[in-house]
């Protein structure tokens, strides 16, 4: 990791850049594939699967038999672990349910809000260098709790035309309704337009590489919502001499092994601690099976020495990390002061891995600084809030003149008339004058 000492605030913008390609570099590729899928459906999908995944499929639909075979190949220990994680994730997301909010804003006017599930959900599960079956839990469980009717999962096949056993097991466990062997840009395009085998959905969830991220953003141009622009994984740790250097190094490496374009950052007020972490990283990285990937990510990463906690917090909020670990003498200062982060992990015994798998919080989080404006996935991500109102004659009488005046001031006469025509019936009726239209 590059060590940067006491950087001037004017350099923060350049210092905190993510190691990613620009959208312009990949947007043309995404557009070409989208246009092909829109025109040619499954033919285009299959062509991309053959080209990018090296798999020539007779069918891209996962069968019940394939799911049963996948389940039989998993150890009972792993199944138990997945089920424990499922239980914790369910507990946390069920707690996010809200009741109907109803209020009488004034006499005779009742307004309320209710949540309704998004009916058709698409879930994208990466499976390139690591089959992320944990993401199946994070997305399918809240979709199921919310009551989504159709949950379509897309994941790229390997060269043998198979999806990882763990992904298939988790999918059937969590109520996925259809599993399709398709990955990358073509998966997002298929969910956007619909094909002969891929249902069109209303909202697409799931992380992916930069191509998938741009594809999701393009999907919004065609009326499909997305969870967020979730790109390569990132972690920022703030720690001082009170922290355990080996723990911090392990956390940094846990994110670095995700991919070569991942980024990890250590912020500290202690130069000695930064050096200790550097030593630990060099030791621990040697035994990682994904050492090569982690090393490339570490080369894109930084240790930043700052003078004060206040400066550290300002820099962290400017960066807006996806994952944020706090291990300092004064954790509350950072916990209370953080404004921009996807998920926060507090203390020496709260590794980021806990949130990735089994503590209960969701690990699908905003990256690239989008935590400044986006939340991570939660139960509300799978619902819409619909407002309702019911106005009585008395209520319209009370508010009618206000509406008329405002509509007239905006020059919208039909808006005013919609109220006036009703008031002409209401006011005589309340004065005891018979009106056949209201009897």
Active site members:
322-323
What is 256-290 written as a DSSP string? HTT-TT-EEEEEES-HHHHHHHHHHHHHHGGG-TT
CA–CA separation, 328 vs 82, rounded Å?
32
The count of other CB atoms within 10 Å of the CB of residue 412 is 12
Percent helix, strand, coil in the chain, to 5, is 50, 15, 35
Annotated binding site for substrate: 233, 255, 258, 323, 356, 410, 415
Helix (H, G, I), strand (E, B) or coil at 125: coil
Tokens coding 262: 């991942």
Annotated binding site for Zn(2+): 255, 258, 356, 415
Measure Cα distances from 248 to 318, 335, 346 in Å.
Answer: 22, 18, 12
Phi, psi for 321 (deg, rounded to 5)? -70, 155
Per DSSP, 100 falls in state P
Helix (H, G, I), strand (E, B) or coil at 152: strand
CA–CA separation, 58 vs 60, rounded Å?
7
Say what the alpha-carbon torsion angle 413, 418, 420, 425 is, to the nearest 10 degrees: 160
Residue with token string 């909010």:
101
Classify 73 in phi/psi space as left (phi over 0), alpha (psi -120 to 50) or beta: alpha
| Cβ neighbours for 285, distance < 8 A, ≥ 6 positions apart | 253, 291, 294, 295, 298
Annotated binding site: 124, 186, 209, 233, 255, 258, 323, 356, 410, 415
């Amino acid at each position: 990791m590059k060590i940067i000492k006491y950087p001037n605030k004017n350099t923060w913008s350049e210092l905190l850049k993510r190691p990613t390609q620009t959208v312009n570099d990949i947007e043309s590729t995404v557009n070409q594939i989208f246009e092909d899928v829109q025109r040619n459906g499954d033919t285009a999908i299959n062509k991309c699967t053959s080209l990018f995944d090296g798999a020539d499929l007779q069918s891209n639909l996962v069968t019940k038999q394939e799911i049963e075979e996948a389940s039989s190949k998993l150890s009972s220990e792993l199944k138990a672990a997945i089920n424990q994680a499922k239980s914790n994730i369910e507990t946390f997301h069920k707690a996010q349910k809200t009741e109907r909010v109803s209020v009488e804003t004034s006499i005779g006017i009742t307004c309320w809000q209710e949540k309704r599930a998004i009916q058709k959900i698409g879930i994208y599960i990466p499976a390139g260098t690591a089959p992320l079956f944990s993401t199946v839990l994070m997305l399918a469980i809240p979709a199921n709790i919310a009551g989504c009717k159709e949950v379509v999962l897309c994941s790229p096949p390997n060269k043998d035309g198979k999806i990882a056993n763990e992904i298939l097991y988790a999918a059937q466990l969590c109520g996925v309704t259809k599993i399709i062997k398709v990955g990358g840009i073509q998966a997002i395009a298929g969910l956007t337009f619909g094909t002969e085998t891929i249902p069109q959905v209303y909202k697409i969830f799931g992380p992916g590489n930069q191509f998938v991220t741009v594809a999701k953003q393009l999907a919004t141009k065609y009326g499909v919502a997305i969870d967020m622009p979730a790109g390569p994984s990132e972690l920022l740790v703030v720690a001082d001499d009170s922290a355990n250097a080996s723990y911090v190094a392990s956390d940094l490496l846990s994110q670095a092994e995700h991919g070569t374009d991942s980024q990890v950052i250590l912020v500290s007020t202690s130069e000695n601690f930064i050096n200790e972490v550097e030593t630990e990283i060099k030791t621990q990285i040697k035994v990682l099976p994904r050492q090569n990937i982690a090393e490339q990510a570490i080369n894109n990463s930084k240790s930043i020495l700052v003078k004060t906690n206040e400066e550290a917090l300002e820099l962290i909020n400017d960066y807006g990390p996806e994952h944020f670990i706090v291990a300092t003498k004064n954790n509350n200062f950072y916990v209370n002061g953080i404004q921009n982060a996807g998920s926060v992990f507090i203390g020496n015994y709260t590794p980021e891995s806990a949130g990735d798998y089994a503590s209960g919080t969701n690990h699908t989080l905003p990256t690239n600084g989008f935590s400044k404006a986006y939340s991570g996935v939660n139960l509300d991500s799978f619902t819409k809030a619909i407002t309702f109102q019911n106005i009585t004659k008395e209520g319209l009488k009370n508010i009618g003149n206000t509406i008329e005046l405002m509509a007239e001031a905006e020059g919208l006469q039909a808006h005013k008339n919609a109220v006036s025509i009703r008031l002409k019936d209401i006011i005589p009726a309340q004065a005891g004058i018979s009106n056949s239209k209201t009897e």
